[in-house]
Amino acid sequence: MNSAPESTPPRTPVSVIGLGNLGRALAAALVERGHPTTVWNRTAGRADDLVARGARRADTVGEALEAGELVIVCLLDQDAARAVLAQGAGALAGRAVVNITSGTPEPVRELADWAAGHGADYLAGAVYAVPQTIGTPEAFVLYSGSRAVFEAHRDTLDAVLGGGTFTGADPALASVHDMAVLSGMYGMFAGFFHGVALAGTEGISAADITRHMTRWLTEAAAALPGFAAEIDAGDYTTETSTLDINAWGLGAILTASRARGIGDALLAPLQELFRREVDAGHGAASLARTVESLPSHGRAPAWGHPRPKAGGR
């Protein structure tokens, strides 16, 4: 007896607006997975390879918006995204638009409001991947805005971009998360560059010191959730890593660095925060208390305790 051939459900038609390095990789992944894929880019020739592989080139932004049940926008910045989407504003109503263009919270919220004003169902995303890793298990994406779009298209987005997490209805939230997460990364880079320079003054190669540094940084990263719990609770009691010991430790690094002509531009600002807390009488508190020395410019932090007055609590 002949059984009916197994059929896979048809894939969602997706449009990709913006074929830079990330957009091209994303569009290629969509084509590869069998999504009817429509692409648009300011420089139309960047679509040639994708068209050869089965994507459809849209001549206008409006055409791209209309062709996609899901529309993914991947442009240089929010200004470019606004300028491009404005070319097809009349076709935005009822579209599920996912904008993975990087941006700071205010412009991201402004563009989301503008798109929603034109009837789009809008989700903003922050991508943690490079073109070579999108769609792999290492890649992930933080989203905010329309939960309906996130839920309706989650499988497609997860498969071609990376595992997604919805962070809230305010479209700027993904960007706020992004800025905060990347702050951690840049802080790490600052320490890395300083350490490599310091080691270099004694002829230790970057590769050599990096081997030890990455081992220790892995340990140090594991301490962050504990620090976070202290910050959220506002309880900096510790028997592990006090501000006193860290202020001494970083002070020693800065002394050795200055003696070797490295300077202190990257790490002195952190030492200044340690000092403020120590001088305010919190030397025995956890290192995590450093965050209390960062002025919040009037915005209440999301932590579970009242903001301390200037000079410490």
Ligand X SMILES: NC(=O)c1ccc[n+]([C@@H]2O[C@H](COP(=O)([O-])OP(=O)(O)OC[C@H]3O[C@@H](n4cnc5c(N)ncnc54)[C@H](OP(=O)(O)O)[C@@H]3O)[C@@H](O)[C@H]2O)c1
- The contact set with ligand X (CB under 6 A) reads 18-23, 41-43, 46, 74-77, 80, 83-84, 100-102, 127, 129-131
Q: Count CB-CB contacts under 10 A for residue 77.
A: 13
Side-chain-side CA neighbours of residue 267 (13 Å): 24
Q: Residue 90 Cβ, how far from ligand X at the closest point, in Å? A: 18
Please identify, using beta-carbon distances, which residue of 19 and 97 lies nearer to ligand X: 19
Q: Residue 247 Cβ, how far from ligand X at the closest point, in Å? A: 36
In angstroms, rounded to a whole number, what is the distance separating the alpha carbons of residues 284 and 236? 9
Q: Residue 64 Cβ, how far from ligand X at the closest point, in Å? A: 12
Chain position carrying tokens 């340690």:
274
Q: Residue 21 Cβ, how far from ligand X at the closest point, in Å? A: 4
Please identify, using beta-carbon distances, which residue of 80 and 179 lies nearer to ligand X: 80
Q: Residue 99 Cβ, how far from ligand X at the closest point, in Å? A: 9
The sign of the CA dihedral 122, 127, 131, 134 is negative
Name the residue type at position 107.
P
> Of 233, 235, 236, 273, whose CA–CA distance to 251 is shortest?
273
Q: Which residue sits closest to ligand X, CB atoms considered?
A: 20
Q: Residue 107 Cβ, how far from ligand X at the closest point, in Å? A: 11
Q: CA angle at residue 82 from 77 to 84, to 5 degrees? A: 95
Please identify, using beta-carbon distances, which residue of 84 and 174 lies nearer to ligand X: 84
Please identify, using beta-carbon distances, which residue of 83 and 229 lies nearer to ligand X: 83
Please identify, using beta-carbon distances, which residue of 180 and 302 lies nearer to ligand X: 180
Please identify, using beta-carbon distances, which residue of 46 and 147 lies nearer to ligand X: 46
Q: Which residues, including other chains, have CB under 8 Å from residue 273's CB and lie 6 or more apart?
A: 290, 293, 294
> Of 290, 271, 248, whose CA–CA distance to 194 is shortest?
271
Name the residue type at position 28.
A
